[in-house]
Structure 1
Amino acid sequence: MRALVINMGVATERMGVMAAQLDALGIAWERLEAVTPATLEPPEGDPVWHRWQRPMRVTEMALCASHVAAWRRVIALDAPCLVLEDDAVLSTRLPALLEAVAGLAEVEHLSLETRGRRKLVARAPHLAAPIRRLWQDRTGSAAYVVRPEGARKLIAAAARAGAPSDALISSAPGLRSWQADPALAVQLDICGRYGVPQAIPTKSLIDAVAKPPVAALTPAVRRAYRARRIAAQLAMGGRLVRHALDGTRREVQPEGPWVDLSAR
């Protein structure tokens, strides 16, 4: 399975770490130039970026657009792909899992990571791989597998309303999502929580831009954001009720060993 690595041209150290991990794991990969606020299309003022539950940073818009570009590449390749942001830390168990899920057509999207929050997952695992049905995620888009069928659903969702990439994935209508259990990836900034070696220091590129001031919005716009937020919370509550018997909310734990980059 091919990996697609979303990376900004200036982030050479991050790309070096990703290339070293993927080469060590024997995973073929290609780099995708990340969208930046300067190259964002459609531009920041387009209505599609203002239909989510709160005002978005332009850096969040750019990351969402980067993932859309990755989904388009998946469709062009007509094969499931591993999509990675350039701050993912990978377990050496990943290649075996990719092989196990490559032929599972029902797995349209597979989250590989954990990020310190509980997820709503099936109590029973898949019979053919260490994965569980994922009904509600809350955060993280740094490492996942997506099939062309899933990529089409995600692109359609993004065309209706842009959102932070992890929120868009977790709320895309009809997307059949699964969770690796144990998780086989974490982001650099959360390595300390799980005792995972952190190859390089990191800081959030999303947070480099301040949150848009809500006070500057008109009352009507604020009410529209609030209504969408409430609707999303009700939808999450509905999923909890529907899966009260066959699901469980828990923090999925990661498992190594992790790719050794000490000799890099």
Structure 2
Amino acid sequence: MNILIINLDQSKQRLEFQQRQFERLNLKFERLPAVSVNEISQERYQELGFGWQRPLRKVEVACFLSHKNAWEKVLVSNQPTLILEDDAVLATNISNVLNEIHCEKLTEIDLINFEVRSRKKIISKMPVLKLEHLNINLFELYQDRTGAAGYLLYPSGAKKLLERLKNTAPAIADGFIFSAYELKVLQVEPALIIQEDQLEAYGLAAKSEFDSTIGRSEHYKPIYDSIDQKKIFKRRRIIGQWHMACRYLQVLFKSQKRFISLDKERFK
């Protein structure tokens, strides 16, 4: 199975971290150069950064464009591809799970999310696929709100995301992906990927090994140019929240909202 790691040219420490990790896991990956903020002109930033529920920082636009480049590679290769950000920490059994998923030859799935990030998700009440000898369940994922550090994207999903971009403004990468309700998405449990900055929250490490090159959006407070601009973004956010509420009502009787488990022994 193809594996892409999005990595900035200057983030050599992160690339070395991934090289060591993949050597331990006996896996191979292809490095996908991340889009740098230096590659985005002010005009391009104005075009792409102000169509979502709040103004995007230039670094968030760069992150989104990096994921977009990954989607395009998936579509060209016509192969399911595991897309990773370069601070993704992988469980020791991920190779076996990827092989098993590959053997299942899933035909109606667009994306499988492997990540967990300290927030509840809305998933199906029962798993839609059980990998029993690996103690892995896959649930239908109806709504997620954070995390794009590790997901398996199928060509059908790449096509849908790129088609959506023709009519929908860029957003933070995970916000764009998981608000695309036309995607058929599964969630792996126990989760097999966690971002490095989440290790301490899950009792897996005392401190981060390297700093975030993006800065987490959940801690970001936007600055608006005017009251009128703030009203525009507030209206967009209300519409976004309305869509989320409608989605929840659509799946209410077949779903559950809860945290996804993680097997800490698989990350030691």
Provide the TM-score with structure 2 as the length reference.
0.89
- The answer for the alignment partner of 1:114 in structure 2 is 116
Name the CA distance, whole Å, in 2 between partners of 1:25 and 1:199: 23
Amino acid at match of 1:203: D
Measured against aligned partners, the alpha-carbon deviations of 1:237-261 in whole angstroms (never above 9, x if no partner) come to 112222222111111122244466x
What is the distance in 2 between the residues matched to 1:140 and 1:242? 23
Q: In the alignment, is residue 99 of structure 1 matched against residue 99 of structure 2?
A: yes
Matched residue SS, 2:44: coil
Alignment of 1:215-226 (within 5 A): 216-217=225-226, 219=228, 221-226=229-234
Structure 1 partner of 2:161: 154
Q: Is the 8 A contact 1:196 1:258 kept in 2?
A: no
Matched, 1:86 2:93: no
The answer to whether 1:234 aligns with 2:234 is no
Cα drift, residue 208 of structure 1: 9.4
Equivalent-residue separation in structure 2 for 1:13 and 1:62 (angstroms): 19
1:111 touches 1:144 (CA, 8 Å); kept in 2? yes
Q: CA RMSD in A?
A: 2.2
Indicate whether 1:127 and 2:165 are aligned. no
* Greater displacement, 20-29 / 30-39: 20-29
Secondary structure at 2:174 match in 1: helix
Distance 1:83 1:255 in 2: 21
SS at match of 1:135: strand
- Secondary structure of the structure 1 residue equivalent to 2:100: helix
1:245 is aligned to 253
What is the number of equivalent residue pairs in this alignment? 257
* 1:43 lines up with 2:50 in the alignment: no
- 1:157–1:173 contact (8 Å) kept in structure 2: no
CA spacing shift, 1:188–1:91, aligned 2, 3 Å = same
> Could you say what secondary structure the match of 1:249 adopts?
strand
SS at 1:125 equivalent: coil
Following superposition, the deviation at residue 9 of structure 1 comes to 1.1
Measured after TM superposition, the shift of residue 198 of structure 1 is: 7.0
Q: Does the 8 Å CA contact 1:118/1:251 hold for their aligned counterparts?
A: yes
Contact 2:200 2:207 in 1 (8 A): no
Name stretches of at least 5 consecutive residues in structure 1 with no aligned partner: none
CA drift of 1:97 comes to: 1.8
Equivalent residue letter for 2:44: P
Identity between Structure 1 and Structure 2 (%): 32
- Alignment partner of 1:184 out of 180, 188, 192: 192
SS of aligned partner of 2:252: coil
Q: Aligned letter for 1:71?
A: W
Aligned to 2:223: 213
Alignment partner of 1:169 is 2:170: no
Shift, 1:95, TM fit: 1.3
**Equivalent-residue separation in structure 2 for 1:149 and 1:19 (angstroms):** 29
Partner of 1:56: 56
Q: Distance in 2 between matches of 1:108 and 1:194?
A: 28
1:13 match? 13
Unaligned runs of 5+ in 2: 132-136
Within 5 Å, give how 1:136-155 maps onto structure 2.
136-155=143-162
Cα distance in structure 2, aligned partners of 1:164 and 1:187: 16
Task: Indicate if the aligned counterparts of 2:111 and 2:186 stay in contact, CA closer than 8 A.
Answer: yes
SS of the aligned residue for 2:45 comes to coil
CA drift of 1:28 comes to 2.4
